Each structure stands twice: as structure tokens, then as C-alpha cells.
Amino acid sequence: MNERSLQIHVLHMLWADVAWCATRTAGAAQQQLEQQQQQQQHRIRVLYKLRGVLTRELDEILGPRQAADERPARLTICIRA
């Protein structure tokens, strides 16, 4: 094997290693992103359930009409964010 052929062979091997690492890294990053999205969706569902519970409690204590008038606007803003 001459020097040029050896260089080409080494470059091909390095390219294959880099491609394998990049694919593996991309797969791990995608998996981590999906896991973070699932966690965020779970938090949002929990916040919506909590908002429902708090709304029912306010309605029960104050009555639906007064509770709607006195319900903290911040709760709605936080849930939407």
C-alpha cells in the first residue's frame, strides 16, 4: 500500500468514526429533548389540574360569580405562560 492509499484509508476510517459519533450524539440529544418535552407536558397538565382544583375551591367558598370577579389574574397568566 503506497502512502496516498494509506492516507485515503486512514481518512475513510476517521470519517466513519466521526459519522458514527455524530449519529450517536444526535440520537442521544433527540432522546434527551423528547424526555424534556414529556416532563414539560406533565408539568403543564399538573398546573391545569391544580388551576381546576383552585377554581372549584374558590367557587365553593365565594360562590361562582364572586369567585370569577376575585380570581387572581396572575393564576391565569402563569398557566398560559
For residue 43, the model assigns a pLDDT of 92
For cell 418535552, the residue is 37
Nearest to 79 by CA among 41, 48, 52, 37: 48
Selection from 27, 81, 26 nearest residue 51 by Cα: 81
Q: What is the dihedral of CA 51, 52, 54, 56, to 10 degrees?
A: 160
- Number of domains comprising the chain: 1
pLDDT at 68: 66
Report the C-alpha gap between 11 and 5 in whole angstroms: 10
Name which residue leads in pLDDT, 58 or 12. Answer: 12
36-74: pLDDT as tens digits: 999 999 999 998 899 888 888 878 887 767 766 666 655
Cα angle, residue 49 at apex, residues 48 and 55 outer, rounded to 5°: 90
Report the mean per-residue pLDDT for the chain. 83
Q: Determine the structural domain holding residue 66 and report its residue range.
A: 3-80
